[in-house]
């Protein structure tokens, strides 16, 4: 009886030992799994948020005394044009309260098809290696299509060049226009292949439903090159 009793106790102890080891292994494995999950989660890279340009508002104008040339960026979901103090002064002296045509002025499909604002174009329009700005907007109910030239080694002070400025309180088709940047290149007239434009500076491509025109500066004067329409 004593030996049988010891044998039975031994079996019980063995079973308890095996179960305890199994539980420990399970706990150990679960700890490893949790640690691995935490480690993996640290290395999971989330994709950066994608900015939908079709949903960006503005553009607005901002005066910045710390810059010498205009810039365009997006802040808080709004296009913002930053103007040096001198360029802003020239603008507002000529066109008090000037505001840019907003993105909402244009059809949603047109806005979605472009990756920037439609009423502002930055570029070196007079070939002096300084960044200038062309804008569509209005002042005192008067629509205006203008260029503001930045001060440079060859331009002593900022200048405003008027491209189109209708009479006050008159109906204008300028709000239907949108602007695109054009880099130096050769343009050929769609109506006459012999008629070419050898563009040597940045320029502005102004478009509407019926008109497509290249506006460029040459010897300080505004010139046009029609691509379609009138």
Q: Which of 168, 174, 45 is nearest to 106 (CA)?
A: 174
The tokens 């040339």 sit on which residue? 69
Which of 108-112, 172-176, 226-230 has the weakest average pLDDT?
226-230
Which of 32-41, 157-166, 215-224 has the weakest average pLDDT?
32-41
Q: Are strands 71-75 and 57-64 parallel, antiparallel or unpaired?
A: unpaired
Partner residues linked to 181 by β-bridges: 204
Answer yes or no: is pLDDT of 19 > 50.
no
Is the distance from CB of 82 to CB of 71 less than 8 angstroms? yes
Answer yes or no: is pLDDT of 119 > 90.
yes
- How many residues comprise the chain? 230
Phi, psi of 228 (to 5 degrees): -170, 155
pLDDT tens by residue, 30-52: 444 343 434 444 444 444 444 56
Given pLDDT bands bounded at 50, 70 and 90, which one contains residue 106? Answer: very high
pLDDT of residue 218: 94
Given pLDDT bands bounded at 50, 70 and 90, which one contains residue 6? Answer: very low
Which of 34-38, 58-62, 73-77, 109-113 has the weakest average pLDDT?
34-38
Given pLDDT bands bounded at 50, 70 and 90, which one contains residue 17? Answer: very low
Q: What is the 3-state secondary structure (H, E, C) of the chain?
A: CHHHHHHHHHHHHHHHHHHHHHHHHHHHHHHHHHHHHHHHHHCCCCCCCCCCHHHCEEEEEEEECCCCCCEEEEECCEEEEEEEHHHHHHHHHHCCCCEECCHHHCCHHHHHHCCCCCCEEEECCCCCCCCEEEEEEEECCEEEEEEEECCCCCCCCCEEEEEECCCCCCCCCHHHCEEEEECCCEEECCCCCCCEEECCCCEEEEECCCCEEEEEEECCEEEEEEEECC
Given pLDDT bands bounded at 50, 70 and 90, which one contains residue 75? Answer: confident
What's the pTM? 0.76
Q: Which residue has the higher pLDDT, 197 or 5?
A: 197
């Amino acid at each position: 009886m004593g030996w049988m009793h010891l044998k039975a106790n031994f079996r019980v102890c063995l079973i308890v030992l095996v179960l305890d080891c199994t539980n420990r292994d399970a706990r150990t494995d679960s700890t490893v799994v949790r640690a691995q999950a935490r480690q993996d989660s640290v290395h999971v890279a989330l994709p950066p948020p994608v900015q939908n340009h079709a949903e960006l508002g503005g553009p607005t104008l901002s005066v910045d005394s710390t810059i010498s040339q205009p810039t365009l960026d997006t802040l808080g979901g709004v296009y913002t044009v930053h103007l040096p103090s001198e360029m802003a002064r020239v603008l507002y002296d000529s066109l008090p309260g000037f505001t840019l045509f907003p993105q909402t002025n244009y059809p949603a499909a047109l806005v979605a098809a472009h990756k920037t604002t439609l009423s502002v174009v930055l570029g070196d329009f007079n070939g002096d290696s300084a960044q200038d700005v062309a804008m569509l907007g209005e002042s005192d109910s008067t629509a205006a299509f203008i260029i503001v030239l930045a001060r440079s080694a060859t331009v002593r002070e900022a200048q405003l060049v008027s491209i189109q400025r209708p009479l006050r309180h008159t109906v204008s088709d300028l709000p239907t226009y949108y602007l695109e940047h054009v880099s130096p290149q050769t343009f050929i007239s769609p109506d006459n292949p012999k008629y070419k434009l050898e563009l040597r500076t940045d320029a502005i491509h102004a478009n509407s439903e019926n008109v497509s025109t290249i506006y460029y500066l040459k010897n300080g004067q505004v010139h046009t090159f029609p691509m379609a329409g009138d």
